[in-house]
Amino acid sequence: MKKIIEKSFKISNDKILSDLLKKSFGDAWSDEFLTYYAYLIYLDTKPKQVIYSIVSSSEFTKVIQPSFVEELEMLNHSDFYQLLLLVSTYPHFHDISKVASNSLKNENLHLDKLFKETNGWMVYNYQLEKLFMMVIQNNEEKAKEFRRNINKKDNSKTSELCKTKILGTTLKEVISMRMKLGIVYTPNYDGAYKLYQYLNE
């Protein structure tokens, strides 16, 4: 795993990594980022490949611990879903790396299946949206709106819906018990696929 590089830097100070970062952001890139700092995990291959990146107006004063490689060493490298979970949630992966021990009041096979690939935790956007549609018979756009409001912690737009009963409890209770990271994430399929290929080539 010596080609997996984890680095923090001021974006304007490193043209090679800056160009790599810009390419990985695509249409989401803003030239304002050139005054920012980046935390980048990439494969030092030919060509270099971004696995994970974040940008911030504040400097990253130290390498995040535990490091990405340390977390990666604990995983089965042939398990794509565990790699996906790591690259999608790092640096908060350690909080959900173990199987959820807190169970719902009533076990439910649908929920077990929905959260299985994320160790029993609600982590991805689509999981929250599917949960919403299971409980409230509504369309996909309403589910996405609900998810956005949950991520923004906009209680004024979610409090009534969260009172909806499910499995002997409420939607709010399921979310509070299973959404340990506080928000849901978009799965980083691109980064996970690159990492999977590198580790299993």
Element (H or E) spanning 100, and its range?
none
Angle at 196 between CA 192 and CA 201, to 5 degrees: 155
Question: Quick one: pLDDT at residue 108?
Answer: 66
pLDDT band at 192 (very low <50, low <70, confident <90, very high): very high
Q: Which residue has the higher pLDDT, 112 or 66?
A: 66
Residue 64 has pLDDT above 90, yes or no: no
Cis amide prior to 66 (ω within 30 degrees) = yes
Cis amide prior to 47 (ω within 30 degrees) = yes
Residue 188 has pLDDT above 90, yes or no: yes
Element (H or E) spanning 52, and its range?
strand 49-56
- Mind listing the pLDDT tens digit for each residue in 10-47? 999 999 999 999 999 999 999 999 999 999 999 999 99
Nearest to 29 by CA among 43, 14, 17, 19: 19
Domain residue extents for the chain:
4-94+187-200, 109-178
In angstroms, the CA 59 to CA 125 distance is 28
**Structure pTM?**
0.90
Residue 105 has pLDDT above 70, yes or no: no
Supply the mean pLDDT for the chain.
Answer: 91
